[in-house]
Amino acid sequence: MKLMCNSCSKFCTSKIPIFEPLSLEEQKELISKAQHLDYKRGENIFHEYDPADKIIIIRYGKVKINRYSMEGKEYVLDILTEGDIYGEQNIFSGKVFETNAVALGECGLCLISLTDIQQLILRKPEIGIKILSMVGQKLSTANELVQLLSINDAKARVAGFLLFRSNRIKEQTIELTRDDISAYINVRRETISRKLSELCKEGAIKLEGNRKIQILNRDILRDIFENEM
């Protein structure tokens, strides 16, 4: 982990919708109080039960949000990418993180204290409204994931996940390992590989190496997914 300078102010805040009401000077003031950190692959950013005293903005790279069962099984809850924000739900409630966060590769973060955000809301109430809207959107996304996990058929679950993830990142190419997908949707890694190969043969996707999955035909994926709902 490496401390960075505060020269990334535009990068940190300009892509985050909740900061749109701020002038450039106000953004600079907020970012000047933030920590700017770089992480290497596998480094922990925070652990479950750590004090939830900050929000995190992804400047670049990817961050995995996960939890572990009592038996040690990993469950991936989200993969954050450039421009994503995490921890805003703790502004209004919660004293500890209920998840872990780990860098999936080299990544850069801005960490802003909840105290600074709360003071900002007092000055700019519209930011609080935007944060509530963002929390609501994340709850909706979580409900979609619950619906996806309720499907028993492995192929339909994989197809549904590809659509879910593509909508989440607004891209047609998904970059995740088979292990991460397995932990995300609770399907064995070997089954993930087999079902991806089937979808590739059917023309729904294109596989590029061990990480990249390009969606070629959303209709095929949607039909497979919806037939099991």
d(CA 10, CA 24): 8
pLDDT greater than 70 at residue 6: no
End-of-domain residue from the set 146, 165, 194: 146
Range list of β-strands (E), 69-220 = 74-80, 85-86, 100-103, 107-113, 173-175, 205-208, 212-215
The pLDDT of residue 82 is above 90: no
pLDDT at 167 over 80: yes
Residues 31, 104 share a domain = yes
Give the domain range for residue 51.
Answer: 2-146
Size of the chain in residues? 229
The pTM is what? 0.79
pLDDT, averaged across the chain: 87
Q: In angstroms, rounded to a whole number, what is the distance separating the alpha carbons of residues 131 and 91?
A: 9
Q: Using the 3D structure, point to which of 130, 146, 162 is the last residue of a domain.
A: 146
Average pLDDT over residues 134-157: 87
In this structure, are 115 and 194 located in the same domain? Answer: no
Higher pLDDT pick, 21 / 208: 208
**124 and 30 belong to one structural domain:** yes
Q: Are residues 91 and 165 in the same domain?
A: no
In percent, the amount of the chain with pLDDT more than 90 equals: 50
Q: What are the tens digits of pLDDT across the range 90-102?
A: 877 768 999 999 9
Rounded to whole angstroms, what are the CA distances from 114 to 39, 54, 164, 191?
A: 21, 5, 30, 42
CATH assignment of the domain containing 212? 1.10.10.10
CB atoms within 10 A of CB 227: 11
Same domain, 141 and 198: no
- Tens digits of residue pLDDT in 105-128: 999 999 988 888 888 888 888 888
DSSP letter for each residue of 11-32: HHHTT-GGGTTS-HHHHHHHHH
Q: Is the predicted pLDDT of residue 2 greater than 70, yes or no?
A: no
Binning pLDDT at 50, 70 and 90, where does residue 14 land? low
Count of domains observed in the chain: 2
Distance, in Å, from the CA atom of 136 to the CA atom of 109, rounded to the nearest integer, reads 23
